[in-house]
Amino acid sequence: MNLDALNFEKGSGLVSVVTQDAQSGQVLMQAFASREALERTLATGQMHYHSRTRGLWHKGASSGNTQQVISLTADCDGDTILARVIPAGPACHTGTVTCFGDVAADTLGELDAMIDSRSVVPPSATVSYTARLLGDRNLRLKKIGEESSEFVTACADGDAVRATEEAADLLYHMLVALHAVGGSLDGVRSELRARTK
């Protein structure tokens, strides 16, 4: 990124930064950056911002919720930057994934995280359906076969409501099976992105 091509706001010397999760596409936050913050970002590969009250700050330096930079792109006027990042935790100081609440929710990402959390079951805990699927290869494969068949039948019948419900069931069971073999939703997203190039 050519910092000389940016139009820093007169007086404050700042540009706006819209930060987006490079994998899910969720908008995580909006902040400001000075030239120094962008220089540090480029030098370290981690997002740095400028707060009017705190000055220069490295996102996640104290919380651990850092943001690894994938790309920085200026808009057509050079006064706003789109920062595509891989976050190491919540972007918001309140502990939520984004500063925009549920509006920017990534339902598949949330499902993926829930499946991941169910893979570790304390000995005294009641075993969830997800944990049962993760622990039983034959049950997983049987459910994928059943859900696939029900989805195909709903599509053949032209039943959009039932097809949508069955697609949700199939996606859930596919994600569980993917986790069971060491895969993840992020891996699927990366593969799909690679296929669009």
- What's the CA gap between 164 and 172, in Å, rounded? 12
The answer on 135 and 90 residing in a single domain is: no
- What are the angstrom distances between the C-alpha of 178 and each of 112, 137, 190? 10, 11, 14
What is the residue range of 164's domain? Answer: 107-195
* 15 shares its domain with 68: yes
Distance CA 168, CA 154 (A): 13
Same domain membership, residue 72 and residue 45: yes
What is the end-to-end Cα distance of the chain in Å, rounded? 22
What is the distance of C-alpha 66 from the center of its chain? 14
User: What CATH number should be reported for the domain holding residue 82?
Assistant: 3.10.20.810
Q: State both tokens at 134.
A: 């993760």
Task: Pick the more confident residue, 147 or 9.
Answer: 147
What's the pLDDT score for residue 45? 95
**Same structural domain, 90 and 149:** no
Counting Cβ atoms within 10 Å, is residue 176 exposed (0-12), middle (13-18) or buried (19+)?
Answer: buried
Q: Does one domain contain both 70 and 119?
A: no
pLDDT digits (tens, 9 = 90+) for 7-37: 888 878 899 999 998 877 788 999 999 999 9
Number of domains in the chain: 2
CB 118 within 8 A of CB 41: no
Same domain as 111, residue 80: no
Cβ distance 155 to 115 under 8 Å? no
Domain final residue pick, 36, 70, 100: 100
Find the helix packing angle between 137-156 and 160-180, rounded to 10°: 160
pLDDT band at 192 (very low <50, low <70, confident <90, very high): confident
pTM of the model: 0.57
User: Do both 7 and 62 map to the same domain?
Assistant: yes
